[in-house]
Each structure stands twice: as C-alpha cells, then as structure tokens.
Amino acid sequence: MTVEEALKDADQKMHAAVSVAQEELASLRTGRANPKLLDRLNIEYYGTHVPLNQLASFSVPEPRLLLVQPFDRTALAAIEKAILASDLGLTPSNDGNVIRLAFPPLTEERHRDLIKLAHQRAEEGRVAVRNVRRHAKETIERLEREHTISEDDLRRSEKELQRLTDQCVVEIDGILGHKEKELMEV
C-alpha cells in the first residue's frame, strides 16, 4: 500500500463516518413531521423484512402531521405495528387507506434530552473519524519503518491526514449545529 492509497482510503472512510453521523442526526425527532424519521423502520411483509420507504409513500400536509400511504393496503397493519413497536414514541391512526402520524409539540425537558442525544451521536461520528485517522497513521508509520517512504513523506502525509480529520470533524459539528437549531424551535 502506498501513502496515496492510505490517504485516499482514510478520506473515503472519514466521509462515510460523516454520512452515518448525518443519518443518525436526521433520524432524531424534532416535533416537526419528517419522513427521514421512518427510514430505519423495517416492516415484516410476506415473511421478509422490507424498509418502509419501499412499501409506502410519505407526505407532510401540515408541519406536525405525516401521512404514510402504503402501495399495498394489506401492508397497512404491519406498518402500523412496526411504528408502534419503534422507539419513535408516535401513535399511528389508521383510516383504512393511510396512516396518520401526529407529532405532538416537544416539552422543554424533551428538547434537552434530544440535544444531549444529538451531541452523543455527533461525538460517535467524531470518534469514528479519529479511529480512521489512527489506523491510517499506523499504516503510514509502518511504511516509514519499512523504509518505503522517507521521514519527510511521513510528516507531509500526517499533516494531510490531520487536515482531512479536521475537515470531517468541522462537517459533523456543522450538522450538529443545524440539528440543535432545529431542535430548539418550538
């Protein structure tokens, strides 16, 4: 493995960690209807687990109401059951055609809990980025020990690796800041 390959691999893995952190933060409930909240739900459909977004379409007619329109009406009960069993804290109402999810306004205490959870998930993303940096740094140092690269190349590549790390951490912090602002809206 060359230094360039190690840096490219680290860059890809770091950006993947940022994407995961972004998805984790997007799945936090803010009090506003957002179809992203249902992305992680899998529905038992004819004996297999299928992601909800493959079984239904979503619409947001009001800021605090989410409509789930199944493509197949026979899946309605299974979708409703999965939403009830999830950790979303939402109670679906079913009229035979669509499922309505009403989002109650969040309490001040729930706002604080969600912000803490957002900070935890962002920190998990930062830790993942730093772990990628550590593994890449070990790879580059091994190349230097094996005399494949010079000490100057080692220093240069470590600086580049740190720049990539800082860039990804700033990206995660930006996503967290946006989510905090979204959570504080009443």
Domain boundaries, the chain: 3-26+107-184, 35-102
Instruction: Read off the pTM.
Output: 0.71
| Total count of residues recorded for the chain | 186
pLDDT value of position 77: 86
Give me the DSSP letters along 26-72.
HTS--SS--GGGGTT-EEEETTEEEEGGGTEEEEEEETTEEEEEESS
pLDDT at 29: 67
Which of 3.30.1360.40, 3.40.50.2300, 3.40.190.10, 2.20.28.90 would CATH assign to domain 35-102? Answer: 3.30.1360.40
pLDDT at 12: 95
Per residue in 125-160, pLDDT (tens digit) is 999 999 999 999 999 999 999 988 888 999 999 999
The whole-number pLDDT of residue 31 equals 67
Low-confidence ranges of the chain (pLDDT < 70): 29-31, 186
Q: Is 156 exposed, middle or buried (0-12, 13-18, 19+ CB in 10 A)?
A: middle
Closest CA to 172 of 126, 132, 141, 139: 126
- pLDDT score, position 92: 87
> Which DSSP symbol is given to 75?
G
In this structure, which amino acid lies at residue 150?
A: S
- Phi, psi (rounded to 5 degrees) for 150: -85, 170
- Give start and end residues of each alpha helix (H) in the chain: 3-26, 76-85, 108-145, 151-184
Tell whether domain 3-26+107-184 is in CATH 1.10.132.20: yes
